[in-house]
């Protein structure tokens, strides 16, 4: 970013920011960027070792030591504890970034109810629960919410049915809470990434060769002819959370190299 000050992204300095899914991928990249911008961080993630590494990277950026609140956000006690510890430590909450999520492969024929429930619990229910508990504190600070969705919520793809449904739900959730919270000056937006180079696809079951081919296909499926990287999504999240976006709410922002605009020819 050429000049953070010029775009008011520096307004994130000292803003208490809770980021879920911060132990890897987009959540981790967002944590590091917010650290560079001077935010005070509470970081959640399931991988405790990775979360500690990201926290160290954040500290090396010159910010205060992040508060680590590890755990699985599908566990209601963990969600409640995460909010309680964040407020007890910082005394307030300015920004909530819901980045925790999973990708699962499967069609209507192959996705059983256990897999469906798991995807929806991680990607939707936990986001609803955490946001519900954070909203009273965000109202006090006139804060901001940014949800990490996907182009899969805006466009239909075969083979990832439950995932597509979950991200469509997140986009609708974002728009609805934006309208509900607007009178209280709390903004809510989502980013909708295309293919971003992270470990999420491998965790979903792609082997090295399949993943290589998947990324190569981005030259055709994305208008810009490539997959994106984590930092590109993190910058969009920072923009939406910052004072550069004070008149933006209810937006599902594609960060996808133009993929949402593509159609077969």
- Residues marked active site are found at 163
Angle at 115 between CA 23 and CA 168, to 5 degrees: 75
In the structure encoding, which two tokens stand for residue 74, read together? 């599908």
Q: For the chain, what is the HEC assignment? A: CCCCHHHCHHHHCCCEEEECCCCCHHHHHHHHHHHHCCCEEEECCCCHHHHHHHHHHHHHCCCCCCEECCCCCCCHHHHHHHHHHHHHHHCCCCEEEECCCCCCCECCCCCCHHHHHHHHHHHHHHHHHHHHHHHHHHHHHCCEEEEECCHHHCCCCCCEHHHHHHHHHHHHHHHHHHHHHHHHCCEEEEEEECCECCCHHHHCCCCHHHHHHHHHCHHHHCCCCCCECHHHHHHHHHHHHCHHHCCCCCCEEEECCCHHHCCCC
User: Contact at 8 Å (CB) between 16 and 92?
Assistant: yes
């Amino acid at each position: 970013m050429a000049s953070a000050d010029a775009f008011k992204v520096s307004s994130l300095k000292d803003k208490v920011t809770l980021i879920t899914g911060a132990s890897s991928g987009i959540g981790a990249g967002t944590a590091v960027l917010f650290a560079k911008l001077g935010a005070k961080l509470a970081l959640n993630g399931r991988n405790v070792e990775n979360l500690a590494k990201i926290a160290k990277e954040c500290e090396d950026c010159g910010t205060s030591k992040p508060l680590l609140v590890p755990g699985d956000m599908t566990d209601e006690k963990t969600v409640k504890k995460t909010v309680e510890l964040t407020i007890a430590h910082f005394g307030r909450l300015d920004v909530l970034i819901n980045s925790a999520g999973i990708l699962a492969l499967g069609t209507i024929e192959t996705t059983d109810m256990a897999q469906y429930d798991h995807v929806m619990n991680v990607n939707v229910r936990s986001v609803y629960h955490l946001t519900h508990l954070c909203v009273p504190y965000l109202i006090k600070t006139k804060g901001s919410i940014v949800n990490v969705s996907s182009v899969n919520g805006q466009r239909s793809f075969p083979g990832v049915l439950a995932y597509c449904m979950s991200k469509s739900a997140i986009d609708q959730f974002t728009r609805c809470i934006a309208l509900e919270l607007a009178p209280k000056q709390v903004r809510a937006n989502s980013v909708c990434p295309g293919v971003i180079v992270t470990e999420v696809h491998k965790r979903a079951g792609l082997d090295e060769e399949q993943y290589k081919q998947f990324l190569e296909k981005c030259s055709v499926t994305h208008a810009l002819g490539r997959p994106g990287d984590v930092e590109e999504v993190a910058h969009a999240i920072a923009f939406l959370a910052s004072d550069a976006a004070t008149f933006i709410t209810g937006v599902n922002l594609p960060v996808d190299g133009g993929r949402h605009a593509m159609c077969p020819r």
